[in-house]
Amino acid sequence: MINHIPHPLNDIDADIGAYISSNPDNDYSHVIRKDRRLEITHYLSDIPNGLFSWYPFENTANVLVIGGQFGSFLRSISRRCNKVVVVERDGYRAHFIKKRMDNHKNIIVDNS
């Protein structure tokens, strides 16, 4: 089976995909220091994880996320919930959300 990666919508998405591919440990701090574009910081930093830190998710909760933003805030939610289902219409972003969140077995990414 050939694993086909869809084309990115723009150059920034292409760069983010390349950064995710080249950093399997999900440590993007050196990338963010080097590439100062706001989108890079938004999608690859831990800042978005703070958006949901205040919410008292129950560990039995199932969460539906519409638009996964390259997985920028999914770790925070997945640590505290039973299951996170991400619906991402863009195939390129869905591919890299799956790649980035590969070690989070309770995250399901749907691109149908």
Look up residue 2 and give its two tokens.
Answer: 């050939």
Q: Tell me what the mean pLDDT of segment 87-102 comes to.
A: 96
| Residues 86-104, mean pLDDT to the nearest whole number | 96
The pLDDT value given to residue 53? 84
The number of folded domains in the chain is 1
Residue 56 within a domain: yes
| Residue 2: per-residue pLDDT | 52
Q: How many helices (H) and strands (E) does the chain have?
A: 5, 3
Per the domain annotation, does 35 fall within a domain?
yes
Segment 44-94, tens digit of pLDDT: 998 888 888 889 999 999 999 999 999 999 999 999 999 999 999 999 999
What average pLDDT does the segment 101-108 reach? 96
Q: Domain containing 51: what range? A: 11-110
The answer to whether the beta carbons of residues 22 and 14 sit under 8 Å apart is no
**SS3 state of residue 65:** strand
DSSP string, 7-53: PPSSHHHHHHHHHHHH-TT---HHHHHH---HHHHHHHSSGGGGGGT
- Would 6 be classed as within a structural domain? no
CATH code, domain carrying 86? 3.40.50.150
User: Is residue 18 in some structural domain?
Assistant: yes
Is 100 a member of any domain?
Answer: yes
In degrees, to the nearest 5, what angle opens at C-alpha 46 toward C-alphas 60 and 55? 35
